């Protein structure tokens, strides 16, 4: 029976995990680096252990330090969150060896799914459709040119060890093959220490749709439906929603069954996500499996009504999954936006700093998973995501309205955040209509650009001002300028005091 869990992570996800621990009567233990002495997750836990300098490769990524902390405090399990050691097979094995429960899958499942080429082979065997392409790493540049010619442009060159959108290059033209393959390889080498790359056919205007799965250690597995994650920037998710606006009940059932088959093919245990790439005709292909809790898991929790962290803990504790596929359903609509400490109007440059003021959005249907507080200095050393805002409503339109209301109420000063950008996304007609794919941000760049927005507003105001001026010149009584404001500057008059009657 698990009684104490060490959370080998930081920030919002560490707090998220601790909340479920508290509800289950399980003690939680935080670990923290130098930069995180003042982090909220440290205060939130029942106990906290210092694990070293700020760079994550000297603290959060050092297996020995995490294991030592777990032993010192007598934790019987470790929850890795997402990122850091969550998809590290060696860590899963090491926990097992030390007699500590790893809240996640075995090293076999992590290794098989963590390497994209191995995963593709495994999925083909399990009859799960994969993106057409190769299942061998490219040998050299000559092999690259020949292989890509055979598959036919455009293609995606991808790092086998890839993750977080790194080591991936879209190749449209023959003359770009060599430079793209070289770039993908060098990026993969520096990010993952492994430069193996392979080729996938490029799926045009694709949608990214993923399925949540839960599998126990007794052969039971269910899926908890889909999440639409096509609003992406640099192949990273920005907005997620469920249900997907393009899904049909029949395709949902088929994809769900394939997701369960994919997880079963690696004897999966715990919570995991099968990512698919989907074309406009709803043909879908396995992209990869994330063998951990996903950043966007709360939208599934809200719509399906399941606490995924509690399920993870119960599964790790060898309990039998109580959820039955036929009893699960999606209720209403949930949207999540990721809030980053970055400047959307300056090429999304990271903008860490000290939070001067924060008002978190509240109210019906709003969930805010964050960790920053007034006076908190966001460290430069980690991912700049500071929180996630999740809104639920009975229908998609109402969920969008609710998200806009919550984003409006969300006030942070001291740092720049992506909040205004997210607000603009909610107003884009293609988003409102649910007609979007992974090119959404690029296709709506003009709409999403604050300066363009501002320009349009100035144009509108100038038009109205010219019209008002014209009316006053022709002596129309449609407009009445209040006497006491005639002394003020014209623009001020226009903005404040002019009342336009029956325009």
- Full DSSP string of 177-221: HHHHHHHHHHHHHHHHS---EEEEEPPSS-EEEEEEEEE-TTS-E
Distance CA 415, CA 336 (A): 21
Asked if 298 is part of the footprint of ligand ADP (rule: CB under 6 A), the reply reads: no
Listed ranges 15-23, 199-207, 343-351, 465-473: which one lies at the site for ligand ADP (CB under 6 A): 199-207
Asked if 83 is part of the footprint of ligand ADP (rule: CB under 6 A), the reply reads: yes
* Shortest spacing between CB 187 and ligand ADP, in angstroms: 11
Interface map 95-114 toward ligand ADP (x if CB under 6 A): --------------------
CB burial class (10 A; 0-12, 13-18, 19+) of residue 363?
exposed
* Shortest spacing between CB 465 and ligand ADP, in angstroms: 44
Query: Which residue from 131, 238, 247, 422 is in contact with ligand ADP, where contact means CB under 6 A?
Result: 131
Helices (H), 208-317: 249-265, 297-300, 308-316
- Single out the residue of 53, 64, 139 nearest to residue 98, CA to CA: 64
Listed ranges 27-35, 58-66, 287-295, 372-380: which one lies at the site for ligand ADP (CB under 6 A): 287-295
* Shortest spacing between CB 185 and ligand ADP, in angstroms: 15
292 among known catalytic residues: yes
Which residue among the candidates 292, 338, 367, 424 is catalytic per the annotation?
Answer: 292
Pick between residue 40 and residue 468 the one whose CB is nearest to ligand ADP.
40
Pick between residue 307 and residue 398 the one whose CB is nearest to ligand ADP.
307
Query: Which residue from 42, 103, 289, 295 is in contact with ligand ADP, where contact means CB under 6 A?
Result: 295
Residue 304 backbone zone (phi > 0: left; psi -120 to 50: alpha; other: beta): alpha
Does residue 5 contact residue 95 with C-beta atoms inside 8 Å? no
* Shortest spacing between CB 402 and ligand ADP, in angstroms: 22
Pick between residue 191 and residue 261 the one whose CB is nearest to ligand ADP.
191
Under DSSP, the state recorded for 365 is T
Asked if 200 is part of the footprint of ligand ADP (rule: CB under 6 A), the reply reads: yes
Q: Which residues pair with 288 in a beta bridge?
A: 275
Asked if 165 is part of the footprint of ligand ADP (rule: CB under 6 A), the reply reads: yes
Under DSSP, the state recorded for 36 is G
Listed ranges 88-96, 203-211, 217-225, 360-368: which one lies at the site for ligand ADP (CB under 6 A): 203-211
Of residues 211-270, which lie at the interface with ligand ADP (CB under 6 A)?
A: 232, 235-237
Does residue 134 contact residue 124 with C-beta atoms inside 8 Å? no
Pick between residue 27 and residue 237 the one whose CB is nearest to ligand ADP.
237
For residue 218, count other CB atoms closer than 10 A to its CB. 12
| Contacts within 8 Å (CB) and 24+ apart, 35-39 | 35/379, 35/380, 35/381, 35/382, 36/10, 36/379, 38/376, 38/377, 39/10, 39/11, 39/371, 39/376
* Shortest spacing between CB 275 and ligand ADP, in angstroms: 5
**Which tokens in the block code for residue 45?**
């836990």
Residues that bind ligand ADP (CB under 6 A): 82-83, 131, 156, 162-166, 191, 200, 202-203, 206, 208, 232, 235-237, 275, 277, 287-288, 290, 294-296, 383, 438
The set of catalytic residues is 292
């Amino acid at each position: 029976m698990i009684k104490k869990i060490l959370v080998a992570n930081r920030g919002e996800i560490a707090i998220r995990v601790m909340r479920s621990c508290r509800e289950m009567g399980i003690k939680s233990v935080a670990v923290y680096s130098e930069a995180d002495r003042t982090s909220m997750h440290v205060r939130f836990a029942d106990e906290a252990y210092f694990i070293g300098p700020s760079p994550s490769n000297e603290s959060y990524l050092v297996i020995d330090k995490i294991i030592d902390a777990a032993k010192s405090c007598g934790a019987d399990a470790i929850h890795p969150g997402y990122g850091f050691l969550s998809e590290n097979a060696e860590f899963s094995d090491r926990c097992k060896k030390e007699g500590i429960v790893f809240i996640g899958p075995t090293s076999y499942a992590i290794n098989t799914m963590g390497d994209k080429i191995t995963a593709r082979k495994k999925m083909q065997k399990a009859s799960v459709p994969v993106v057409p392409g190769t299942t061998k790493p490219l040998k050299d540049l000559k092999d690259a040119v020949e292989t890509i010619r055979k598959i036919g442009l455009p293609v995606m060159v991808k790092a086998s060890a890839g993750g977080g959108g790194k080591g991936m290059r879209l190749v449209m033209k023959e003359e770009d093959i060599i430079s793209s393959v070289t770039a993908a390889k060098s990026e993969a080498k520096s990010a993952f220490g492994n430069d193996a790359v392979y080729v996938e056919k490029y799926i045009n205007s694709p949608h990214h749709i993923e399925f949540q799965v839960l599998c126990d250690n007794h052969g039971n597995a269910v899926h908890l439906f889909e999440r639409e994650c096509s609003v992406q920037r640099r192949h990273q998710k920005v907005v997620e929603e469920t249900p997907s606006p393009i899904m049909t009940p029949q395709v949902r059932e088929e994809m769900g069954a394939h997701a369960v088959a994919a997880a079963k093919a690696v004897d999966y245990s715990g919570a995991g996500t099968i990512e698919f790439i989907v074309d406009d005709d709803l043909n879908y292909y396995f992209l990869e499996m994330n063998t951990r809790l996903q950043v966007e898991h709360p939208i599934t929790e809200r719509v399906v009504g399941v606490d995924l962290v509690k399920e993870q803990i119960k599964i790790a504790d060898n309990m039998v999954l109580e959820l039955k596929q036929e009893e699960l359903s999606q209720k209403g609509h949930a949207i999540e936006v990721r809030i980053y400490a970055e400047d959307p109007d300056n090429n999304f440059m990271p903008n860490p700093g000290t939070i001067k003021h924060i008002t978190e959005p509240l109210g019906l249907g709003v969930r805010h998973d964050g960790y920053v507080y007034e006076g908190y200095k966001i460290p430069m050393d980690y991912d700049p995501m500071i929180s996630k805002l999740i809104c639920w409503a009975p229908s998609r339109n109402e969920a969008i309205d609710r998200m806009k209301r919550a984003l409006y109420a969300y006030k942070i000063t001291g740092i720049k955040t992506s909040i205004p950008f997210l607000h603009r996304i909610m107003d884009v007609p293609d988003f409102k209509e649910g007609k979007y794919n992974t090119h959404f941000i690029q296709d709506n760049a003009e709409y999403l650009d604050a300066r363009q927005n501002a320009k349009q507003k100035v144009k509108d105001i100038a038009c109205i001002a010219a019209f008002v001026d014209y009316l006053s010149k022709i002596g129309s009584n449609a407009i009445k300028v209040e006497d006491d404001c005639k002394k003020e500057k014209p623009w001020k008059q226009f903005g404040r005091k002019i009342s336009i009657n029956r325009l």
